[in-house]
Structure 1
Amino acid sequence: MTNVTYPIYTQDTYIRHFTPGKWWNSIYTWDLGFIAEGLIEINPSLAAQCLNAYTTAPGSWSPFVFHGSPVPTQQYGFFDLWNKTQSKPLLHYFYPRLKQYYQFLAGHAKGSTTTKFKSGILSTWDYFYNSGGWDDYPAQVAVHRGHLDNKVAPAITTAQMIRVAKMLRMAALQLGKNKDAQRYKSDIITWGNALQKYSWNKKSGYFSYVEHSADGQSNEQPTKPFLYQDSIDYNKGLDGAYPLLAGICTPDQQKTLLNKIFSPKHMWTKVGISVVDQSAPYYQTGGYWNGKVWMPHQWFMWKTMLDLGRGDLAYKIAKTALDVYQQEVQASYDCLEYFSPTTGRGGGWHQFSGLSSPVLNWFNAYYKIGTVTNGFEIWIRQQNFNSACDTYNALLSFDDATAPHGRTMLICMTPNHRYKASFNGQTLSIHSPYSGLLAITLPATNQKGRLIVQPVD
């Protein structure tokens, strides 16, 4: 997190800039959202500065500062910054900037082409070749190699924007901006229906890349899944699982995708989640992203497991990642980009802070007393620990654009106590893998309420 370059000139001013590595004297949008996530754990003020460098004031000539993969990580960064601080001044400042950022990627801003397909599936190919940061993701490579940018769209962009709309909707409701909240809900419904209608591939058990007619607009030819050698779903990998993050899957789809992610026959490896399904014919062990395990998309899946009430699977992701990272640091003293399922070792740039910063989130979530962690569906309106960190009190609201279901929160309390928890007076079960760590699954409700955790002895 000490990779800082100065000066970087952007938006008519000079900024101090956190960068993935000092080798790169440039801005990187999605990397810096993850750096902000890491900074939230050690210095929230610097995290806010990092987010500010990539968001722009309403009416600016650019809707946000963009370079590289258009994964909207600043949106997630602010969501977690809010849940850490509950700072209303920061909310009032950042909300219009984040809304502008959203409107461009949602296709609502003048000049945006992300909604060029009548299917409703979003695409950012007009702005960058890379939809998820994964340079050699097989389906993505095939799209560009075949010059199919105007025919084929991935699943991740639409899934990410559904989740962003849900987060911004909670922010809008906090601010009393009900018209904004309604617009977000309309987008959520439209995009969720599009993924279900055109992208879900029951045969493969993944959401597919969607291939459109020749001009992308005609209704004469139905959309179809983008296939490898005209027979196999080209999206067997994390892109095909991303609608889990959006919270739009049916119970059967959720069960199927969880099996894909955590089965050693598919994406689970000894070092974590492979970007590409190991059973796919286009899986390679020698790729950059293809055949490798990276921290950032595991972070998204980890938070998703908390949203799904699967604290056990969240722990599996985080514990595996921390162990793998620790082993590499002990062996090489490097902070590397990715890890090989074949060798267990890291690779890539040796001082890489950007997409490796989730290790800070995982460590604090499970080991730092006074840390509270949730997914993307819990909005913390108020919270406080007592001075001994053995009592916690919070007012919570929820993503009510998603059907009510159990959600897991992680709370690190002072160890050597037994604890009890309640939500609106209802006693909750607590899973404690070790003394001090509480994994609390909240009731299946979208009604706001008060969570109280206190010692029994």
Structure 2
Amino acid sequence: MLIPRFTLSPYRLDVELFFNTQKLGDVSLCIGQGELLHLKGQGVTLKFALEGSRYDYAFQHPNGDQCIVAAGENLRLTPFTTVGNAVVEGNWRRDHADNVALTFSGEQFEGGIILHRRLCPEFARPSFAEAQTASRQAFFNWHGKQDQSEAAQPATYLLWANTVPAEGALTHPSTYMSKNHMINIWSWDNAFSAIGLAAIDPDLAFSQFAAIFDWQDDSGLLPDFVHDAGASFAFTKPPVHGWAILHILEAYRDCFSSDQLVYLRDKMEKQLSYWLTHTRANEQELPGYFHGNDSGWDNASFFDHGGPVVGPDLPTFLCLTANCIAQLYRSAEEPHMANKFDQIKTQLRNLMIKQLWNGKCFVFRKPAQPDLVLPDTSLAQFMPLLLGSDLPREIADKLVERFNAQGFLTEWGPATENPQSAYYEADGYWRGPIWAPTTLLIFDGLCRQGEIRLAHELAKRFMRTCEASGMAENFDALTGTGLRDQAFAWTSAVYLRFQNVLSKAQLTSA
């Protein structure tokens, strides 16, 4: 029986192949400068096979280079070797090839694969050892820490490895959620990645905002996501950016330059205008989400009857956006403009309380069906805790009491849907699993209400979940099992943020 054994570090992957207990050979891989995969092996043959799309094919260039074209991915792969052989192949079928593959072989082999979209670039081709040393140094230069915990290292690595350069429609280097499946930068994911990056690379943290804000529509609408080929406006995402920028500035005061702050302030003004102008009928109504995807909570229980939906999370985020803009104007010594946005914040908060607070909790409703009762079992109902002292004390106390009494906080972290709810699903995306962004939002809300002990306990549980199950997209709220994509950037970012907060708390109490 063939048994592979994997050893992974941020700069190298080693695979040993055994037949029962006898070692047959091994392969090592590392990513070098540019779009270049270095590899070496002995005692085995290494084969890369395309899964196949309509027009994949393989050919030999007039200069002698062999090449594979992965048509569906708009990608070309050119192999090279310094030891051993590399052969591309495919069974021609009229206008494409089946079974397209690239094979490295020989008693020993060393070489690599150059990934490119146009002509093959002239890369320097260092040895595997040189490429590995350079990759190791590049990672260390980026994060600046030699000693990291067992979980912190992969979290840091994922933020680094999921970052792609500015190219095509990407105007800034961007940290994708994952290079497994979620190869976009979404317009609320970016804010959480920025929080995790702020302590490591402030310029890259700013780039997460700018890569999205550069695509902002004239109306202030942000795209759902951006990647190198373009942007999608089929949906948008919740305006968490003001909250995130305030969070970063409170933790890392000098993270952004004055020019960057002016850029962010101007973009947030347009963003705020979009939500207040285009998602409500008049100033006496609350803004709402047209679709679950706009809220970031995609299929949450409060969207069980479709949209538009008005709930407490959106006005909370908009209050924080207005607050962030006001603070930036105040720092720029423009008190008149600061007062303007302070008033917007107050008006939104008062509307939210008047229209959504029922004495026990904040509710969700459909303006088109005012008598329809929507579920009140989603974690999103607690977002107003983020308002801190701007939320009346009696309301805050009732929200914290409700959070504790209804069992949202499990052994592993805060469930996005009450586990006792009829809508709860173990792998239901936003109907139960624990997510990093909502965990950080609840954590920050509890801190702003003075519930530090509870907030830190929540953070510790989430960190234990990541340490047990990795930096997954989300987690089963009752078992802690990692779900969906297993290598997510915002999970990594939130883990590192919690680690930073708790380590500082330990130093303060020592």
Fold shared per TM-score above 0.5: yes
Deviations along 1:23-57, one digit per CA (max 9) or x if unpaired, are 33333111111111110122222212222222249
Contact 1:339 1:346 in 2 (8 A): yes
Deviation at 1:261, TM superposition (A): 1.9
What is the aligned partner in structure 1 of residue 65 from structure 2?
Answer: none
What is the aligned partner in structure 2 of residue 206 from structure 1?
Answer: 361
* Structure with bigger gyration radius: 2
Deviation at 1:117, TM superposition (A): 5.1
- Where do residues 25-424 of structure 1 align in structure 2 (5 Å cutoff)? 25-56=183-214, 61=218, 63=220, 65-67=222-224, 69-87=236-254, 90-107=257-274, 112-116=277-281, 119-125=284-290, 129-142=292-305, 144=306, 148-149=307-308, 152-202=309-359, 205-213=360-368, 226-228=372-374, 234-247=375-388, 248-263=390-405, 265-329=406-470, 335-367=471-503, 410=505, 412=507
Deviation at 1:206, TM superposition (A): 1.9
**C-alpha separation between the residues in 2 aligned to 1:56 and 1:115?**
25
Contact 2:322 2:344 in 1 (8 A): yes
**C-alpha separation between the residues in 2 aligned to 1:117 and 1:38?**
37
Change (3 A) 1:340 1:129: closer
Deviation at 1:121, TM superposition (A): 1.0
* Structure 1 residue 20 corresponds to structure 2 residue 177: yes
Deviation at 1:62, TM superposition (A): 6.4
Change (3 A) 1:88 1:358: closer
What is the RMSD computed on CA atoms of the aligned residues?
Answer: 2.7
Change (3 A) 1:291 1:364: same
Deviation at 1:97, TM superposition (A): 3.3
Runs of 5+ consecutive residues of structure 2 not aligned to the other structure: 1-158, 226-235
Contact 1:120 1:190 in 2 (8 A): no
Contact 2:313 2:383 in 1 (8 A): yes
Letter of the 1:249 partner, please give it: L
Letter of the 1:210 partner, please give it: R
Deviation at 1:249, TM superposition (A): 3.3
Alignment: residue pair count: 339
Q: TM-score, normalised by structure 1?
A: 0.67
**C-alpha separation between the residues in 2 aligned to 1:14 and 1:255?**
44
Contact 2:219 2:270 in 1 (8 A): no
Runs of 5+ consecutive residues of structure 1 not aligned to the other structure: 215-222, 229-233, 330-334, 372-409, 414-431, 436-457
Letter of the 1:95 partner, please give it: V
Contact 1:55 1:98 in 2 (8 A): no
Contact 2:382 2:442 in 1 (8 A): no
**C-alpha separation between the residues in 2 aligned to 1:251 and 1:84?**
25
Contact 1:41 1:360 in 2 (8 A): no
**C-alpha separation between the residues in 2 aligned to 1:275 and 1:16?**
31
- The structure with higher relative contact order (CA 8 Å, sep 6+) is 1
